[in-house]
Amino acid sequence: MSDQFSNQARGDFQRARFKAFVNRLWSTLSGQPSTLLSYDEVKEKLHIGGPIYRGVQTVHVDQIAGSLNRYHEFDRVFLPASDKLSERWQRVNRAFYQEISLPPVVLYKVGQVYFVVDGHHRVSVAREQGQIYIEAEVRECATRVNIKPDIRLEDLQILGTKVNFLERTSLDTLRPDASIKVTIPDGFDRMLEHIAVHRYFMGIDWKRDISEEEAVAHWYDTVYMPVVQVIRATNILKDFPGKTEGDLYLWVLDHQRYLVQEGESLQPPETAARTFVDDETKKPSRKTRSDKRSTPQSGSADKGKKRKP
């Protein structure tokens, strides 16, 4: 019987290694993430706190997508990345066939993602055997942003700038319902500039010093949200697949600045948003355009002028 279990475990490992090869090939062709998330990298970029012990829990295996210190040894779906893992992997797999209970794995939780601290081979075997859940000791780490198991490295970079934005502005405290998302790498840095300029002109208009918290709240209420409300009312976001309300907000302000540079008067945010929407809807359908620009040119390309960043 033990030989039978050994043969099954050996065959399972060979199939797992072949799947890992196919996944790596597909990742190269598709650009999808193939490696596990590094806990240290996430910790550094997102300034996470904790971990706080949450006890033994039943965890969905698909949510385990990272590792504390062995993220190079398995791919994103925990298939073994090297034949060096064979002996231990097969030993854990034999325990599965023999119905031997193994201790819970140890995981860190960040957002919706779990990182393996101890039990990498147990997680790998569980996924390969089709288990949906696994028992785990969970320690949760506090974070100001949410991450999901399918997060890409470029998304992590942007979330890092969002954490900096929230630490600088405390918008998540001042406006708890606020949920700004962007796909533009420097989007949150540009918003910090917008808030700084807004604070300056508030001081001129109101003839007094403006606190940073007051400027942030006023910017969100009177600049950002009016633009977003127009975006929602016109449903224009459907014409920009993969983009967010935050992206279009940035484009609206770019468009507004371009018009000012062309000699037009400064428009209120809501008016600027409607002007942007009107200009975009007059253009040919995005599905029929031959160019591959990632952002609207706000009319500047038609006049042969390059818009300033």
Residues near 289 by beta carbon (within 8 Å), at least 6 away in sequence: 283
**Quick one: pLDDT band at residue 275, thresholds 50, 70, 90?**
confident
User: In this structure, what token pair is assigned to residue 75?
Assistant: 């791919």
Domain membership of residue 188 as a residue range? 153-303
**Based on the domain organization, do 130 and 179 belong to the same domain?**
no
pLDDT of residue 242: 92
CATH number of the domain residue 38 falls in: 3.90.1530.10
User: In this structure, what token pair is assigned to residue 208?
Assistant: 């007094």
pLDDT exceeds 90 at position 277 = no
Q: How many domains does the chain have?
A: 2
Q: Residue 308 domain-assigned?
A: no
Q: Residue 113 domain-assigned?
A: yes
Element (H, E) at 141: strand 133-141
| 133, 188, 205 from 183: Cα distances, Å | 32, 10, 33
**Based on the domain organization, do 241 and 100 belong to the same domain?**
no
**CA–CA separation, 73 vs 26, rounded Å?**
18
Cα 77 to chain centroid, rounded: 18
Residue of higher predicted confidence among 239 and 28 = 239
pLDDT exceeds 80 at position 281 = no
Cis peptide before 226 (omega within 30 of 0): no
- What percent of the chain shows pLDDT beyond 70? 88
Closest among 98, 80, 77, 99 to 89, alpha carbons compared? 80
Domain boundary among 104, 121, 141: 141
**Based on the domain organization, do 119 and 164 belong to the same domain?**
no
Q: Residue 225 domain-assigned?
A: yes
- Digit-coded pLDDT (tens) for 52-106: 999 999 999 999 999 998 988 999 889 999 999 999 999 999 999 998 999 999 9
pLDDT exceeds 60 at position 228 = yes
**Based on the domain organization, do 164 and 284 belong to the same domain?**
yes
**CA–CA separation, 151 vs 27, rounded Å?**
14
**Based on the domain organization, do 290 and 159 belong to the same domain?**
yes
pLDDT of residue 7: 82
- Digit-coded pLDDT (tens) for 156-172: 999 999 999 999 999 99
| 83, 86, 278 from 259: Cα distances, Å | 61, 64, 14
Q: Please, what is the angle between helix 86-97 and helix 120-128, to 10°?
A: 60
- Digit-coded pLDDT (tens) for 249-258: 999 999 888 8
Mean pLDDT of the chain: 87
Are the CB atoms for 123 and 117 separated by under 8 Å? no
DSSP class of residue 237? G
Are the CB atoms for 302 and 261 separated by under 8 Å? no
Are the CB atoms for 13 and 98 separated by under 8 Å? no
